[in-house]
Chain A
Amino acid sequence: EVLEYQFGLEEEGIRDLFDCD
């Protein structure tokens, strides 16, 4: 049985990941 997908714990969104301040 494969574990459920683990989301990151930090409240990070797509905007942060593409470095958009």
Chain B
Amino acid sequence: PPQTPVRTVMNTIQQLIMILNTASDQPSETLITYFNNCTVNPKENILKRVQDIGCIFKEKFAQAVGQGCAEIGSQRFRLGVRLYYRVMESMLKSEEERLAIQNFSKLLNDNTFHKSLLACALEVVMATYSRTTSQHLDPGTDLSFPWILNVLNLKAFDFYKVIESFIKVETNLTREMIKHLERCEHRIMESLAWVSDSPLFDLIKQSKAREAAANLHESTCT
């Protein structure tokens, strides 16, 4: 059948539901094994973080769309958490294959990594459903990107870091959703990463310092 805008949206939702229908709201046995392999087990912090962010997300969602729609916020969050655990597992498998290690203690205890990954999963869910609701809401009820960054108090540059890996390991994302994440990437590169408190500036400073040290070393050798 011809691919109408409505058909495209329905396909994207169906695809998301198909991916997440059988997924769990809790970490899988495989993820638990990764957690147990860590020098410091991150499990309790991960569960608590998900719970805390869930409370904030549901509150902000209800504030934006009205208390009558609070249950929809809970459903969106539940889907986001399923996708978060699913992608985390795929990322760890991919990294295990690449690096031949099973201990990801530092990564799995990194708060920014988890917030970024959960934000990306939630953004996929929110973007999937956003086209089925009104597109002409006032700014106070606009839940499209970068709304999720404000909810999770996350820097755009940190969110940017997970996008490519997310697309790489979640092979069931629709073309529409990949395009959406790519648009988020572009917005971050073009403007959101360049705000005054962005971590990008620290990285540029570090990079310059390394370059200066290397130049000094080179001239000393000469």
B164 touches A8 (CB 8 A): yes
**Is B13 interfacial (CB 8 A cutoff)?**
no
Tell which of B51-59, B98-106, B122-130 binds the partner: B98-106
Q: Compute how far the CA of A7 lies from the CA of B161 in the bound complex, rounded to whole angstroms.
A: 13
- Given A13-B94, A15-B99, do A5 and B161 touch, yes or no (CB 8 Å)? no
Say how far A8's CB is from chain B's closest CB, in angstroms.
6
A18 touches B107 (CB 8 A): yes
Q: Compute how far the CA of A2 lies from the CA of B179 in the bound complex, rounded to whole angstroms.
A: 8
Which of chain A's residues have a CB closer than 8 A to the CB of B162? Answer: 14, 17
Say how far A9's CB is from chain B's closest CB, in angstroms.
11
Which of chain A's residues have a CB closer than 8 A to the CB of B142? Answer: none
**Is B145 interfacial (CB 8 A cutoff)?**
no
Give B117's nearest chain A residue, CB to CB: A14
Size class of the contact patch on chain A: 10 to 19
- Given A2-B179, A5-B178, A5-B182, do A15 and B168 touch, yes or no (CB 8 Å)? no
Among A5, A7, A8, A11, the residue within 8 A (CB) of B98 is: A11
Query: What string of 1s and 0s marks CB contacts (under 8 Å) between B105-131 and chain A?
Result: 011001011000000000000000000
Q: Which residues of A line the B interface, CB within 8 A?
A: 2, 5, 7-8, 11, 13-15, 17-18, 20
Please list the 6 inter-chain residue pairs (A to B) with the smallest Cβ-Cβ separation, ordered nearest first: A20-B106, A14-B165, A17-B161, A18-B113, A20-B107, A13-B95
Q: List 26 A-B contacts (CB under 8 A).
A: A2-B179, A5-B178, A5-B179, A7-B164, A7-B168, A8-B164, A13-B91, A13-B94, A13-B95, A14-B91, A14-B95, A14-B107, A14-B113, A14-B161, A14-B162, A14-B165, A15-B99, A15-B107, A17-B161, A18-B106, A18-B110, A18-B112, A18-B113, A18-B161, A20-B107, A20-B110
